[in-house]
Chains A and B, each alone.
Chain A
Amino acid sequence: MRSVTKHRLFWPVATLVSLILINTVARSQFASITVRDGRLYGALIDILRQSAPLMLVSLGMTIVIATRGIDLSVGAVMAVSGAVALTIIDGSTDPSDPGVVMVAVVVAILASLLLGAWNGFLVSLLGIQPIIATLVLMLAGRGVALLITEGFITTVNSTPFEFISTGYLLLPFAFFIWVAAVAVVGLTERRTALGVLTEAVGINPEASRLAGVRSRGIIWSAYAASGVLAGIAGIIYASNIKAADANAAGQFIELYAILAVVLGGTSLMGGKFSLAGTVVGVLIIQTLESTMLFLGVPSAESPVFFAIVVVVVVIIQSPRLHRLARDVTNAARSRRTAEPSDAEVAG
């Protein structure tokens, strides 16, 4: 039992499960899943679908944070990626041609890779502090997106493009996208030495450099990966609203992503990271969002509600609280045994 509670993921998973339980108790249909036309529907399925953008962004954020960095530009990258994709589709003769959509998606992802690489260049080669380096793009990126869409909110009607976010293959297509992303990132980090080298760079950059680790390349690749993942998130977002909205796309998502990473147990100090933890963290956030909708919390009040729950969750996970609880129980225990142990020492 003790080893279960000691597990890194115990508290995040416990939080997620209790959130789902609370919802189910409040309204039992929360947990119900129905099958229609060979598709699964239900609140839980919605959570899986809606978490896709945040999931992708948070995966990238986890890797960047592991290198002792931070990527504030993810929301702006989402905006650029959406703008690029929609401009290409909108400018084509046949927006419903899957080939056109394919090209649009690939170009948008390449553009995001470029932006991520720019961040990586500023941080790893020029040595600019990550928060400043990515702040540049966070502020400038939306302007770039507006330039691409020429200041308009580009909208399209393209069935293949819409499929990305609303399509179904028994489960929502967007869910498969993030599962694939988790698998790819997870395998790259843990099946190769990239993960442990990333952690080494995050824990002690100078020791890693002297040990011959290519820390520059590792840091650079982390930002590039974060860019690509944010780009895919931007495509999903644009597909969902069928529009490229340079101002609304991925707004504040960097903050939610950082929150998801932290809820998942990865330290902002860098080093050891947990992708599984981040997955759980994102699901917690998304479940919480649904909870508010589900419980009918008015949208004006929802940030307050959200904040309260997050504070409670973070306090529950705090190691200091755990230590305090342990001290209290230990003190109670030692009071019971105090007399005999004193006698032993004296003898």
Chain B
Amino acid sequence: MTLLADTASAPIVEMRGITISFPGVLALDNVDFFLRPGEVHSIMGENGAGKSTLIKALTGVYAIDSGSIDVTGTSQVFRSTFDAEAAGISTVYQEINLCTNLSVGENVMLGHEPRKRGRIDWKAVHRLAAEHLDGLGISIDTRSLLSNHSIAVQQLVAISRAMVLDAKVLVLDEPTSSLDRGEVEQLFTVIRDLRARGAAIIFVSHFLDQVYEIADRVTVLRNGKLVGEYLAKDLPREELVTKMIGRQLDALEAISSTAARAIDRTDAPILKATGVGRRGVLEPADLDVFNGEIVGIAGLLGSGRTELVRLLYGADRADSGTIEVVGAPARMTSPRHAIDRRIAFSSEDRREEGIVADLTVAENIVLGIQARKGFRKIRREKQDSVVSEYMAALDVRPADPDMVAGNLSGGNQQKVLIARWLATAPELLILDEPTRGIDVGTKADLQRKVAELSEQGLSVIFISSELEEVLRLAQRIVVMRDRKSIGELDSRRFDLDGLIDFIANEGKGSAA
């Protein structure tokens, strides 16, 4: 194992022998981690490898069971995130922790408002906030409500907040998972600028391209153990993936493409939506899905993808259009209506709209069938068999049905949600960003599972920001932009560049 002292500068953070265990799980096992000033350092690993746990140990969220943390040469014991912030470590979490009901300026300066005669000087608050945001190349009205801005802007606001705290160490946990390409570029410009100013940056991401684009150094974890620390330029991509998953990459590349599969479109479609829309949310759109078909929805974040499927599922009410399920008109004003017609919907927001964090994995999996069944409890044996069947089918790790679902890693929570829906035996499964924030191995597992299910006759609506994924899985792709559907393509006739071009340019300048 390489413990690195191969740079001139002394580490700003030294974590040695970090061990953290949760009930039933050894999340980190004697892990060392070093971070130097002026570098971007990526922590890589599959879901559940311990990346988030390591970060949370550094940021004071979790207390360490054993080991030591030194920051700028002084030993630290973090009892809370406050201690970590005081030591100069600032974090921007995967799910942004800001007050969306406050203004941008209030968020940037929260807890550090300049005062005048004991009272907050709001003019100065907004002036300073604007300066910090300017420093990151963002110009927005600091008096506007944070919730009115995109996730990307909120992310940058969170980073500028770290700047206010004068952080020496900036931790970015999956900062790009909900950003589009341009926004990622903007973020990287900010990161490079901070690095040049001597900040030490931890960058955690599942996007290998982005890691190679921005990271100087990579630390790989697997199953809670340190695999090693490497310079990014010395570590070929295949080798990195092999180290992360502990097996060869070949297994992942064997995912067959289902795009070319022929679909019988002569029968009535499983779902036929005509002119479904909602004022101010989505312009009327058409969509039909046939038996065993995977229909992809592509478009940038905020293009109306999520809005469309929420209307189809009855999560939000449509104010125009009609929906037919297998030829019969259907009223979709509540999720229950959709569920009764064997339509399932897995939301893009796992934490808020998917997982019931304090219930166990088993309870989360049976929640869907239990809700359908009403108050009569599912028999214990039946529940156990359903749970073990789907946990095995989706390879939920750790394979402990009695574990509290909130303690699972993001990818495994996603698997639990898909298990919940598959257990209800749906005919149409709507997956909104099922692979966001998920590692390579799990992503491949999920894609394979979706392909396999569709071959058995399940219809799927598949939304993803990763266009390769959509192209590989879907037979047809509906493209959305600016809250309307701009076209429908046959994915056999498009490659990635073609699709990107279509998303960006189709219909521009014309009346459509």
A342 CA to B30 CA in the complex, in Å?
12
Once the chains bind, are A196 and B370 in contact (CB under 8 Å)?
yes
Shortest distance in angstroms between B403's beta carbon and chain A's nearest beta carbon?
15
Chain B, residue nearest A333 (CB): B66
Residues of A near B486 (CB, < 8 A) are none
In the complex, whether B359 has a CB less than 8 A from a CB of chain A is yes
Residues of A near B356 (CB, < 8 A) are 199-200, 203-204, 207-208, 211
In the complex, whether A2 has a CB less than 8 A from a CB of chain B is no
In the complex, whether B354 has a CB less than 8 A from a CB of chain A is yes
Instruction: Using known A-B contacts A204-B355, A204-B357, A207-B356, determine if residue A212 contacts B372 with beta carbons closer than 8 Å.
Output: yes
Once the chains bind, are B353 and A207 in contact (CB under 8 Å)?
yes
In the complex, whether B315 has a CB less than 8 A from a CB of chain A is yes
A323 CA to B373 CA in the complex, in Å?
41
Q: Which of A197, A199, A214 contacts B358 (CB 8 A)?
A: A199
Once the chains bind, are A211 and B367 in contact (CB under 8 Å)?
yes
In the complex, whether A142 has a CB less than 8 A from a CB of chain B is no
**Interface pick from B375-383, B388-396, B489-497:** B375-383
In the complex, whether A213 has a CB less than 8 A from a CB of chain B is yes
Instruction: Using known A-B contacts A210-B353, A341-B17, determine if residue A193 contacts B372 with beta carbons closer than 8 Å.
Output: no
Q: Mark A204-230, 1 if CB is under 8 A from B, else 0.
A: 101111111110000000000000000
Q: Which of A191, A197, A330 contacts B371 (CB 8 A)?
A: A197
A200 CA to B17 CA in the complex, in Å?
38
What number of A residues sit within 8 Å (CB to CB) of B?
Answer: 30
Q: Which of A203, A342, A344 contacts B357 (CB 8 A)?
A: A203
Instruction: Using known A-B contacts A210-B353, A345-B16, determine if residue A327 contacts B79 with beta carbons closer than 8 Å.
Output: yes
In the complex, whether B269 has a CB less than 8 A from a CB of chain A is no
Q: Mark A313-333, 1 if CB is under 8 A from B, else 0.
A: 000000000010001001100
Residues of B near A194 (CB, < 8 A) are 375
Q: Mark B312-325, 1 if CB is under 8 A from A, else 0.
A: 01010000000000
Once the chains bind, are A196 and B363 in contact (CB under 8 Å)?
yes
Instruction: Using known A-B contacts A212-B336, A212-B368, A341-B17, determine if residue A207 contacts B375 with beta carbons closer than 8 Å.
Output: no
In the complex, whether B483 has a CB less than 8 A from a CB of chain A is no
In the complex, whether A69 has a CB less than 8 A from a CB of chain B is no
In the complex, whether A231 has a CB less than 8 A from a CB of chain B is no
Chain A, residue nearest B373 (CB): A193
Tell me the residues in window 320-346 of chain B with beta carbons closer than 8 Å to chain A beta carbons: 335-336, 339, 345
In the complex, whether A5 has a CB less than 8 A from a CB of chain B is no
Once the chains bind, are A191 and B352 in contact (CB under 8 Å)?
no
Residues of B near A203 (CB, < 8 A) are 356-359
Q: Which of A199, A209, A211, A345 contacts B420 (CB 8 A)?
A: A211
**A211, A214, A331, A342 — most chain B CB neighbours (10 Å):** A211
Shortest distance in angstroms between A202's beta carbon and chain B's nearest beta carbon?
9
In the complex, whether B174 has a CB less than 8 A from a CB of chain A is no
Shortest distance in angstroms between B100's beta carbon and chain A's nearest beta carbon?
15
In the complex, whether B229 has a CB less than 8 A from a CB of chain A is no
In the complex, whether B374 has a CB less than 8 A from a CB of chain A is yes
Q: Which of A193, A271, A330, A342 contacts B378 (CB 8 A)?
A: A193
Q: Which of B16, B339, B354, B374 contacts A207 (CB 8 A)?
A: B354
A213 CA to B370 CA in the complex, in Å?
8
Chain B, residue nearest A189 (CB): B375
Once the chains bind, are A212 and B371 in contact (CB under 8 Å)?
yes
A193 CA to B374 CA in the complex, in Å?
7
Once the chains bind, are A193 and B376 in contact (CB under 8 Å)?
yes
In the complex, whether A334 has a CB less than 8 A from a CB of chain B is yes
Shortest distance in angstroms between A337's beta carbon and chain B's nearest beta carbon?
9
**A191, A206, A327 — most chain B CB neighbours (10 Å):** A206
Q: Mark A126-140, 1 if CB is under 8 A from B, else 0.
A: 000000000000000
Q: Which of B65, B66, B79, B315 contacts A210 (CB 8 A)?
A: B315
In the complex, whether B153 has a CB less than 8 A from a CB of chain A is no
In the complex, whether B386 has a CB less than 8 A from a CB of chain A is no
In the complex, whether B96 has a CB less than 8 A from a CB of chain A is no
Once the chains bind, are A211 and B17 in contact (CB under 8 Å)?
no
A210 CA to B337 CA in the complex, in Å?
11
Residues of A near B372 (CB, < 8 A) are 212
Chain A, residue nearest B314 (CB): A210
Shortest distance in angstroms between B487's beta carbon and chain A's nearest beta carbon?
29
In the complex, whether A192 has a CB less than 8 A from a CB of chain B is yes
Given contact pairs A193-B375, A345-B16, enumerate 13 new A-B contacts (beta carbons under 8 Å): A192-B376, A192-B377, A196-B359, A203-B358, A204-B352, A210-B345, A211-B335, A212-B371, A212-B372, A214-B371, A342-B68, A344-B17, A345-B32
Task: Give 26 pairs: A residue, B residue, CB < 8 Å, sorted on A.
Answer: A191-B377, A193-B370, A193-B376, A193-B377, A199-B358, A199-B359, A200-B356, A203-B356, A203-B357, A206-B352, A206-B353, A207-B354, A207-B355, A208-B367, A210-B335, A210-B354, A211-B367, A211-B368, A211-B420, A212-B335, A214-B371, A214-B374, A272-B358, A341-B17, A342-B68, A345-B32
Interchain residue pairs A-B with the least CB separation, the first 10: A212-B371, A212-B339, A213-B371, A192-B375, A193-B377, A203-B358, A204-B356, A345-B16, A200-B356, A345-B17
Q: Which residues of A contact B (CB under 8 A)?
A: 191-194, 196-197, 199-200, 203-204, 206-214, 271-272, 323, 327, 330-331, 334, 341-342, 344-345
